[in-house]
Amino acid sequence: MRPLALALLLLALAGCGGPRPQLAPLAPSDVVLAFGDSLTFGTGAPEDQSYPAVLGRLIGREVVRSGVPGETTGQALARLPGVLEEVRPRLVLLCLGGNDMLRKVNEQETAENLRAMVRMIRDRGADVVLVAVPRPALLADPPAFYRAIAEEFRLPLEDQVVKEVLYSTGLKADPIHPNAEGYRRIAEALAELLRRSGAL
C-alpha cells in the first residue's frame, strides 16, 4: 500500500501545479498597457527610466504608461474603461493594491476590484499579467489574494520582484518607491515572465 499511496500523493502534487499560464504571442505592432499607481507612473525616477519605458525597450513593443500616484483599486476600476478604450491594448500589466493596504482598505474589497478589472480587460479581448506588491511591513509577502486571483483566472503572476526591490535600500528612491535601478529590475523580471509565458 505504501508505494501506491506515495504514487497517488506524487500524482496529486503534480496536478496542483498544472501548466504555466500562457499568453498569446505579441505581434510587433501590439500595444502593451502598464496600468497601476505610482509604481507604474515611475515615482522616484525620470520618466524614461520608469518600468514601462524600460520594458518597452527590452521587448521591442510600445508600452503605454498609465499610472496614477496614490490611486486605490476602486479609483483604478473607475478609470480603466476609458484607458482601455483609448489605448486598445493587446496585453495589460496590472499592478495595484499598495495604496489600498496603506489606507487599510478591506482585503476582500481590494481583491474584488482586481477581479473586476481582470474581467473587464478580458472582455475587451486583451490578456492580463498580474503584478503583486507586498504588504507595507518589514519583509512582508504580498497578500494571498494575488495568487488566488492568478490561479482563478489562469494569469501569469509576478509576485517577487517588487518585494525584492522595495526591501533593497540600494534600489529605492524613498521608503516606498524604487529608484531607476529598481524600476529596471522590475522591467527585466516582467520581460522574462513574458518570454516564459509565450508572449515574446
Q: Does position 136 have pLDDT exceeding 50, yes or no?
A: yes
What confidence tens digit (pLDDT) does each residue in 17-52 have?
Answer: 457 899 999 999 999 999 999 999 999 999 999 999
Per DSSP, what are the bridge partners of residue 128? 92
Residue 31: count other Cβ atoms within 10 Å of its Cβ.
Answer: 18
Burial, 176: exposed, middle or buried (Cβ in 10 Å; 0-12, 13-18, 19+)? middle
pLDDT of residue 9: 41
| Strand bridging mode 91-95 / 31-36 | parallel
What confidence tens digit (pLDDT) does each residue in 98-119 have?
Answer: 999 999 999 999 999 999 999 9
State the virtual CA torsion across 63, 69, 75, 81 in degrees, nearest 10. -20
For residues 17 and 14, give the distance between their C-alpha atoms in angstroms, rounded to a whole number. Answer: 6
Domain 32-197 top-level CATH class: alpha beta
Residues 6 or more apart from 7 whose CB is under 8 A from it? none
- The letter for the amino acid at 152 is E
Per DSSP, what are the bridge partners of residue 129? 93
